[in-house]
Amino acid sequence: MYEFLDGIVENKQPTKVILFVGGVGYAVKISLSTFRALPEVGEKYRIRTYLHVREDILDLYGFADETEREVFLNLITISGIGPKLAQTILSGLTPAELIRAIRLGDEPTLNSINGVGKKTAQRLVVELQSKFEKWGENLVGEQLQIPTDSIFNSVEREALMALVSLGYKKPIAERALQKVQKSKQHKVVEDLIKDALQAV
């Protein structure tokens, strides 16, 4: 019903933005990814939207770009994943990170998202992997290239997986690892994990 809204940002929070359009204030539910893309209050912004109809409730969801909306629409086709959890997933990982994790079958990264257990992570991979392989590279928005040479070396990658398995979100774990590696190069994964835990 609504493809997008063009209006003035009246108020913004990490999970919701109020957009003033033609004399009406629209409350739009958003992910953290979209929240980071919003301009300052008082500035004009176009947000892509999806209207979710549930019995007598209408919920309007907003997205920073078409990539995020397409990923969201794919997520809610999976049994057990409704709009609220789909939005939580897109708050835990950016659309590009989520697509990358699903295409690589990276279940530990998916498990690091609040509300995503082992079975849900498995369903994400099984049901969306082939679909994301087909159209992931053509999405607009974030660069979706999967680097063959990671910015992390083997020790750092092992430490990253360990931190994620301990319950830390991947972006937080990555920042901690980058921070400690700048001051000291670790050759033993146990030492790196220990220092990273203090930097989280």
pLDDT tens per residue, range 66-89: 889 999 999 999 988 999 999 999
Domains of the chain from N-terminus onward? 4-63 (2.40.50.140), 66-138 (1.10.150.20), 154-199 (1.10.8)
Reduced to 3 DSSP states, what percent helix, strand and coil does the chain have, rounded to the nearest 5? 50, 20, 30
Rounded CA separation 74/181 (Å): 37
- Assign 152 to helix, strand or coil: coil
Rounded CA separation 74/109 (Å): 18
DSSP 112-148: TSTT--HHHHHHHHHHHHHHHHHHGGG-SSS-----S
- Lookup: tokens for 181: 């590696």
- Lookup: tokens for 51: 């209207």
Instruction: Indicate if the pLDDT at residue 24 is higher than 90.
Output: yes
pLDDT at 134: 59
The vertex-7 CA angle with 5 and 12, nearest 5°, equals 95
Please answer whether residues 87 and 145 qualify as being in contact, where contact means their C-beta atoms are separated by less than 8 angstroms: no
pTM score:
0.67
pLDDT tens per residue, range 100-151: 889 888 888 898 888 888 999 999 999 998 887 755 444 434 444 433 334 4
Specify the amino acid at residue 132.
F
Handedness of CA 9, 12, 14, 15 (dihedral sign): negative
Q: How many CB atoms lie within 10 A of CB 94?
A: 21
Buried b (16+ CB within 10 A) or exposed e, 37-59: bbeeeeeebebbbbeeeeeeeee
DSSP designation for 188: S
